[in-house]
Amino acid sequence: MLNNCAEVISKYGLVVQDGLLLLSAECALGKQGVVVDKKYYFRFSNDSANSQFQLDGGLWDSLNRVRKDNKIAVSVDLNTITEIPRGFKKYAAKMYGIDFSETILRNWREPGYVVHFDEHSVSGNPEKISLAIYPREDGVSVVYLEELNSFSGIELSMRTKFLHAEYNREDKRFSHIDGAYKTYSKESYLDRYMASPVKAKHSDLRYDKVFRFDGGSGFADWLLLVSGFFYGNRLFKELMESKLGKR
């Protein structure tokens, strides 16, 4: 593993122009900084994500959309490099928000996985929320959301909120939504926490259904319902970002 910014910049052939990091194909731009090869992370300088990079609609999203055939450079802390926290390295979204929208549900044709986590956590096991989308051949996209709580290692069991939904891409409606509490033993929860979303395991102690919806729900109503189920989970709000409550 590389030890400093200079080594990362050299290994991946990154270019610094006028103190700005030029984004390359190896770079992923998020709200809080730049990820290189899904392994290393440059934060925006002086936490500028709270000022110049935090605009309505998300400047980071706009920059990503115009990156093709254009040169984009951003201000980052070139003196500090951070490794992406352990677990989910292949799938982790090192940003607040993934521009999740109904368009993604309609057009995503391959399974998609994102794990959003609290990068500021002082715990070695930060809180996370996992999102998985499985498009089926029958025109239905299955959505899974699960909160993964931080832990100290002394707990005998862990409980999470888990939501399952089915979205008909042609009708543009959710036909089924259900939410549940999943209770894991300590050993099983550690496996769940560390496994990729593709290999996520079921809870081994309890699975308690909280609610079930069958019928027809638009995307905006689904967001309101799901945000109510995950009420108080700031990671969920960040994941869905400005889409919450909009019709």
Residue 77 lies in a domain: yes
pLDDT tens-digit series, residues 144-182? 999 988 888 788 999 999 999 999 999 999 999 999 999
Do 116 and 221 fall within a single domain? yes
Do 141 and 228 fall within a single domain? yes
Q: What is the pLDDT of residue 96?
A: 43
Residue 21 lies in a domain: yes
Tell me the residue range of the domain where 213 lies: 102-243
Do 110 and 19 fall within a single domain? no
Q: What is the pLDDT of residue 161?
A: 93
Residue 150 lies in a domain: yes
The domain boundary, picked from 83, 116, 140, lies at 83
Do 141 and 208 fall within a single domain? yes
Q: What percent of the chain has pLDDT over 90?
A: 26
CA distance 104 to 89: 22
Do 49 and 130 fall within a single domain? no
Do 160 and 45 fall within a single domain? no
Do 229 and 129 fall within a single domain? yes
Do 21 and 140 fall within a single domain? no
Please tell me the total count of domains within the chain: 2
Residue 141: pLDDT band (50, 70, 90) is very high
Most confident of 45-54, 162-171, 191-200, 230-239: 162-171
pLDDT tens-digit series, residues 68-110? 888 888 888 888 887 765 544 444 544 444 557 788 788 888 8
Q: What is the pLDDT of residue 175?
A: 93
Q: What is the pLDDT of residue 159?
A: 92
Q: What percent of the chain has pLDDT over 70?
A: 78
Do 131 and 30 fall within a single domain? no
Residue 97 lies in a domain: no
pLDDT tens-digit series, residues 10-46? 999 999 988 889 999 889 887 778 889 878 888 876 5
The domain boundary, picked from 28, 50, 83, lies at 83
Do 59 and 110 fall within a single domain? no
Per-residue pLDDT, averaged over 43-72, amounts to 63
Residue 96 lies in a domain: no
Does 241 score more than 70 pLDDT?
Answer: no
